Amino acid sequence: MPKISTKNLTAMALLIALEIILSRFLSLSAWNTKIGFSFVPVVIAAILLGPVYAGIVGALADFVGALLFPIGAYFPGFTLTAFLTGMVYGLFLYKRQSLPRILGAVAVNQFILSLLLNTLWISVLYGSPFGPLLVTRLVQSAILTVVQIVVIELIVKALPRLRRGFSA
């Protein structure tokens, strides 16, 4: 990991704040389902800064958001998932973005990290049976898969303007 520059640190802070706002205030949540656009700052970090920085953005946003605006009990498993989500986006999308890479990133994040791992964390945290909980979360993953693919494509198309904004 290269030495972090002031510019990258500032960009990360901005993206963390944006992710907290999108996650805590501008998303639809039920106790085991959450639909929103909080993935956007993490994807931007992944594309512009790389996997490690995107993982840090995801993890810090989850941790700070849980401290400042708790929705339930803090559980470190969700922070781990947030870090891994940023890493996956970064591994797939840093330096090269294409539809197959976007599909891969979204598939891994939605069906392995969100559906399987976060369902496990919810099951452990609330003592709910994993199988039925997994079935109820399938709809969320299906909806968010389509939403994320479309939104990430739009982000990639806006990439030249994003790069100018972050380099100014």
CB 46 within 8 A of CB 54: yes
Per-residue pLDDT, 31: 56
pTM above 0.85, yes or no: yes
Mean pLDDT of 80-92: 98
Phi-psi region of 95 (alpha: psi -120 to 50; beta: other; left: phi over 0): left
* Mean per-residue pLDDT, 115-144: 91
DSSP 2: P
CB burial class (10 A; 0-12, 13-18, 19+) of residue 95?
Answer: exposed
Summarised one tens digit per residue, pLDDT across range 6-60 is 989 999 999 999 999 998 888 776 655 677 899 999 999 999 999 999 999 999 9
Whole-number percent of the chain with pLDDT over 90: 71
For residue 166, the model assigns a pLDDT of 66
CATH fold for the domain made of 6-167: Arp2/3 complex 21 kDa subunit ARPC3 (1.10.1760)
Q: What is the mean pLDDT of the chain?
A: 91
CA dist 30 and 51 (Å) reads 30
List the domain boundaries for the chain: 6-167
Cβ-contact 149, 106 below 8 angstroms:
yes
Query: Residue 140: pLDDT band by 50, 70, 90 thresholds?
Result: confident
> What value, to the nearest 5°, has the Cα angle with vertex 120 and ends 142 and 46?
60
Provide the pLDDT for residue 167: 61
pLDDT of residue 28: 74
- Chain Cα centroid distance, residue 133: 21
CA distance from start to end of the chain = 23
